[in-house]
Amino acid sequence: MIRKRICFGLCLFLFAFGTKAQKNNMAAFYHQWCAEYNALQLPPTTLDYHENLRAASPRDSLQIQENFFAKQIKLLKRLKNELQNASDSILYRHMEFECLQNLERIGLQKKWLRTGKEIPVGGLYHMKNGRKWYAYYVKHFTGLMVTPEIVIETGKHEVKRALKKIDSLNQLLGFKNDSDVLKVLQDKKFYLTDKEQIIRLFHKTDSTVRINLSRCFYDYNLPAIEAMEWPEGTVATPPGMYLNRDDNPYRKDVFLFNFSQNKFNTRCTDWLYMHEAIPGHHLQHYAVPDSSNFFYFGTMEGWACYAENLGSEMGLYQNPYTYLGMQEWNLVRSARLVMEVGIHYYGWSFNDALQYWKQNIKGQDAICEREIKRITSWPGQALCYKMGALAIQKLVSAKIHAGQNIRQIHHYILSHSHYPLYALCSDC
């Protein structure tokens, strides 16, 4: 997870068409758009929907915003005929995405202000227009024009795929049944209780990845990253977190691992390092300088989740247990798609989600409550990992088919990390 100030509520600009040159210069148009977009200073969208509802703009501000974005839609429709290349298309789709999302948000906020401002506790399903709110959050956080129906069907499919991979690995490792699996995987040999040993393990992983990085990436001259215990880590926090030197009190790039239970599961080492460090968030942060104010969870977390699948190329997953660890977490992320849509769109209770978890995920009951509470309070955010990774993988496959090499493809994605995936994936 990246800790970064999130400002999703951006704004567009009142830009009248001028000269022929202005019409044809998408870059100049976009630059002006960004300036006016930021000038509206909309309240930032936080992860918790309760906070977002409480921070809704007053009616007069919403009307100003609505007039503004509606006008931009009309301007963009006229501008569409002026697109000259792929770069123009990306900028256009970015502006289009933000226009449509803001108009959807404004319409919902105006209706909510008229309903008495009730804020349900158990998910969006329980408030008026709750299903429409959730449909908005799905697109807003993933950066994709997808529906809850698509998300839940994707989740069911990915759960089946993950379970099939896990079953194959269990057979390879000689496990005969679930109880056999759980017994073996709880063995002390998979856990480290010495923090210094854990740090050395991550240091070794870092060295291995850097040696093999050129297989899939250009040389970005990445600075060192230091593994550290997460001081505030608890059973309710994620397994790890990346902090760049500009976003933490340590004044250095760090990868924090959760040591709240005084032990660390070594089967998580490879995928967790690749997600939080290289080629995940650490590489993502330094690969291409980014001076924009845009931040999209679907692109950021989707990339880090996609990066976990490059383990073989990076010299990792040499031990089948480490690959099993990655697939176990892949199963969790896939199941979250189903449970989140179930809670916010179909009215699942906590027990409904718990039952689904226990039916599909074995041996991870310790984090079950944490994950259900997370997806209940943060609609949309947990979707970003799996939905984002799938969209990026689809984009990568299309570009490979078109004859591009993997280094070019990865650089293209990294250099556009501040755009929603909708802008990068023409068929997403």
Mean pLDDT of 228-253: 90
**Pair (191, 273) in one structural domain:** yes
DSSP H stretches of helix in 264-382:
269-276, 281-287, 297-307, 320-345, 350-360, 368-377
Mean pLDDT over the full length of the chain? 90
Query: What's the pTM?
Result: 0.91
Residues 392-401: pLDDT tens digits? 999 999 999 9
Does 6 reside within a domain? no
**Pair (156, 236) in one structural domain:** yes
Distance, in Å, from the CA atom of 382 to the CA atom of 390, rounded to the nearest integer, reads 14
**Pair (44, 84) in one structural domain:** yes
> Whose CA is closest to 218, among 410, 415, 416?
410
Mean pLDDT of 223-227: 96
Angle at the Cα of 389 from the Cα atoms of 384 and 391, rounded to 5 degrees: 95
**Pair (304, 230) in one structural domain:** yes
Distance, in Å, from the CA atom of 148 to the CA atom of 181, rounded to the nearest integer, reads 34
Distance, in Å, from the CA atom of 124 to the CA atom of 131, rounded to the nearest integer, reads 7
The label of the residue with tokens 């993933």 reads 142
User: Is the Cβ–Cβ distance between 221 and 230 less than 8 Å?
Assistant: no
Domain, as residue range, for 219: 149-424
**Pair (154, 112) in one structural domain:** no
Does 9 reside within a domain? no
**Pair (164, 37) in one structural domain:** no
> Whose CA is closest to 49, among 105, 104, 123, 112?
123
**Pair (178, 280) in one structural domain:** yes
> Whose CA is closest to 40, among 390, 386, 293, 384?
293
Does 134 reside within a domain? no
> Above 50 in pLDDT, residue 216?
yes
**81, 100, 119 - which closes a domain:** 119
Does 29 reside within a domain? yes
Residues 53-104: pLDDT tens digits? 988 889 999 998 899 899 889 989 888 888 889 999 999 999 999 999 999 9
**Pair (108, 41) in one structural domain:** yes
Q: Which long-range contacts (CB under 8 A, 24 or more apart) does 410-413 make?
A: 410/216, 410/217, 410/279, 411/217, 411/218, 411/287, 411/288, 413/303
